[in-house]
Every structure is written in C-alpha cells, then in structure tokens.
Chain A
C-alpha cells in the first residue's frame, strides 16, 4: 500500500458538495434545539410547578444517552413503522421517499435541546435580581420582562456555548452517517470503497470538517467582538 496524496484532493473535490447539506442539518437542528432549549430553560428558571420537575428528569435522562443510540433507535423505529403509519393516516409517501436528513435533524435537535437548555439556564443566572425588580417597577409583564430584559442579556453570555453547540452538531452529522444519512463522512467512505484508499479519503473528510470548524470559530470571534461593542455602548 502506498500513500496517495493526489487521491486526497480528488476526494476533497468530490465530498465538498456535501458541505451545504451538513451545514443545513446543523443549522436547522440548532434553531429547533435553541427554541426548545429556551422553553425548557425558562420553565426550569421560573420553576413552573410540575413541568419544571418533569423537564429536569427528562434532561437528566437525555444527557446520559449517547447520540449514536438515539440515531439507531430513531432509525429502527421509523424504518420499521413509518410505512404502516403512513398508510393508516392516509399519507401517500413511503419511507424510501423521505429525505434521510430528517432523521439526522430529529436526533441532533434532541442533542441541541439538551445542551442549549443547560447553557441558557446557566446564562440566566448571570442576570441579577435587581434587573427583575426594575422591570417590575416599570410595570412590565412577565412576558415583556423575558423578552426585553432576560433574553437580551443572556444571549451574549450564551453565545460561546451556542457556537460550541453548532460545532458539535456539525461533528454530530458524521455520526448520523452511520444510519444511512448521506453527508461528508459517508461520501468519503463511498469514494474510497472502489480502491480501498480509506486512509486518504478520511484525511480529506477530516480536512473539510477542520476547515468548517475554523471558519465558524473565526466567525464567532468576530460576532463576539461586535456584541461586546454593542454592550459597551449601551
């Protein structure tokens, strides 16, 4: 076996087409996870009776589940039951017609919800009690307080963790490829399957992931600097 540098570039050219779908899956999961995570964090922060305890238990449980098991179970359950279900409900789609990225998005959203709810909860703690007293004395309702006082102040604190989660989601898509979601990793495996140059193909995939992460990290630094400026001005 010889090391074939040319093949790395060849594979990179092939798999770079899958960068958009990877980013798409990560972004959609981040948005869904962000919204659900915010709701969970708010419920736990305001200690809504019943729901708060329920979420706390659910999050503790989900925190312990490896992503791959989530994907495997979702994949198996949907692949065995979707056709029966669709027939029963009267949908005219078969499992094969579904885009596999939906699977990835479900699993990744779950991961993002768990991670971001904890991140937001931590960030909420950074808002001081006087802020709520002030909002109250101005006659703001609870919802207004959340929208105008709590969330704007927590976002800069939570931003590094949100970016971290985004990078983790992109890395998580590689795991999704184990349950037949087509993205960078599986494309690299496929490219190498004809000539068994797996090492070169995975180097290519690794380089692409690495570049994506570096770009995101640079963007995050830029965003943080801008946010800091905004805070200082106000």
Chain B
C-alpha cells in the first residue's frame, strides 16, 4: 500500500464527487420549499391562536428543535413504513429521497415557522390597524401590507437556515442516498483514499456555502434591506436567534 495521504487525489476525485452535486442541491431546494409552505402554515396557526392545532404546532416545533436531525431522519426512515403499511403502500417502492424530503422539509418548517412568526410579529401592530381601517380584507392585509415587510425582516435568518440545511443534507448518506458525501464515501471505499475524497466533498460544501451566503447578501442589498429600520438580528451559523435582550 502506498503512502497514506496524497494531495493530488483531492483534485482527481473532485469531478467525480461533484457529479453528485445535483442530489445535494435538489435536497436543499425541495426541503426549503416544503419548509416555507409548512412553516408558514405553522406560523399562521400559532399567530391566529387556532385551538388544538396551536398546541400540536407548539409540540411539533419543540420536538424538532429539541432532537438531533439524525434521529429525526431515522424516525422517518423506520416510522414511515409503519404508516404506509396501514394505507397499503409497500415501503420498498418509496424512493429514499422521499424520506429525506420529509425529514428535512419538516425540520426546516419548524425552524422557519419561528422565523416567520418573529418577522410577522415585528411588523408594527399599527400597520394592521391601518390596513383594516382602510377597508382591506384580512387577506389583502396579509398579502399587501404584512408580507412585503416581513419578508425583508426574515431574510437574514432565512439565509442562515438555508445554509445550515445545506450542511445538514450531508447526513443523507446514512440512509444510503448518494449525495456529495455518499459519493465521496463510495470513492474512498473503492480506492482506500477516503480522506482525500472527503476533503473533496468539504471543498464543495465550503464553496457552496460561500456562494449561497453571497447570493443572499446580494438579495438583501437588492431589496434595500440595510437602509430600513431593522430589529437587531443576531447571526448564528446553526440556529438563528431572533431576539437578543437589550442591555441597559
């Protein structure tokens, strides 16, 4: 066996590892879309104080926030076949990607619902009152007054969430989906140079995160976000903290 670490292999593996990039991007994109839709639903239920649903939403959010995503993934992976069995669908027919969409989508939904809720609540109440007194319907009020303002407020936290989702998708290989990490692992197992393959995958993730961050920053600038009155939004790479206590 030849020497243990050969840097040139990192570049040699790079195109191969890169070929699995669409899977990672697809996972991120679909989960974000699911997350936004379900997350908005949860935020709506919690803000409108719908009885019963509100409690379910609160427990769901707390559960997702309180457990590792790895466990959520395995819960869906082993738990969904139970429910599919009742409906009469054979779990073997289900693509492994579906499990991942559900896991990451629901995970995103829980975190995004908090961000969406905080953003909606940070739009001053006078805006609602003004809209309602001007004869807007509730629907018009949300779509024409509240949402446009809330989106701008939610943008920085949303960006951090998408970037951390991208990194979470690196766990997809544990249930056998060939994403960037899965590809690197397969390459490494075949050639005994696993470290080099993983470093290739690392480089891909670093570049992707960087591009995403720049992209979101550009969007924020385009939406003229910095010139508006903003609450303090702290950036945390993993979970965004919306409110920071004020010092006296």
Contacts and interface: CB of A to CB of B under 8 A. Distances in A.
A69 B248 contact: no
B52 interface: no
B235 A73 contact: no
Contacts of A157: 244-245, 247
B198 A202 contact: no
The 5 nearest A-B residue pairs measured at CB: A64-B209, A213-B66, A64-B206, A174-B68, A66-B170
A193 interface: no
B227 to A, nearest CB: 19
B241 A209 contact: no
Interface in B66-89: 66-72, 74-75, 78-79, 82, 85
A202 B78 CA distance: 9
Contacts of B202: 65-66, 69, 73
B82 A199 contact: yes
Contacts of A92: none
Most chain B C-beta atoms within 10 Å of own C-beta, residue among A64, A68, A157, A175: A64
Given A199-B79, A209-B71, A213-B66, 6 more contacts: A63-B209, A165-B238, A185-B70, A206-B67, A206-B71, A224-B245
Interface string A46-74: 00000000000000110111111100110
A1 interface: yes
B70 A114 contact: no
B75 A199 contact: yes
B69 A232 contact: no
A69 B205 contact: yes
B74 A198 contact: yes
Interface residues of A, number: 56
Interface string A61-98: 10111111100110011001100000000000000000
Contact of A3 (B82, B181, B198): B82
Nearest to B59: A210
Interface of B: 4, 62-63, 65-72, 74-75, 78-79, 82, 85, 167-168, 170-171, 174, 181, 194-195, 198-199, 201-202, 205-210, 232, 234-239, 241, 243-245, 247-248
Given A1-B82, A119-B236, A206 B201 contact: no
B75 A214 contact: no
A32 interface: no
A68 B207 contact: no
B interface SS class: helix
Given A118-B236, A161-B241, A210-B63, A68 B171 contact: yes
Nearest to A121: B235
Nearest to B236: A161
B82 A214 contact: no
B68 A64 contact: no
Nearest to B201: A69
Contact of B205 (A1, A64, A185, A199): A64
B206 A160 contact: no
Contacts of B247: 126, 153, 156-157, 231
A151 interface: no
B71 A174 contact: yes
B188 to A, nearest CB: 8
22 contacts: A3-B82, A60-B210, A63-B209, A66-B168, A66-B205, A67-B167, A69-B201, A72-B198, A76-B195, A80-B195, A123-B234, A159-B245, A160-B243, A160-B245, A161-B241, A165-B238, A175-B171, A178-B174, A202-B74, A202-B78, A213-B65, A224-B245
A145 interface: no
Nearest to A77: B195
A185 B171 CA distance: 14
A133 interface: no
Contacts of A178: 70, 174
A118 B195 CA distance: 28
A131 B17 CA distance: 51
Contact of A81 (B4, B206, B236, B237): B4
A118 B235 contact: yes
B62 A171 contact: no
A63 B237 contact: yes
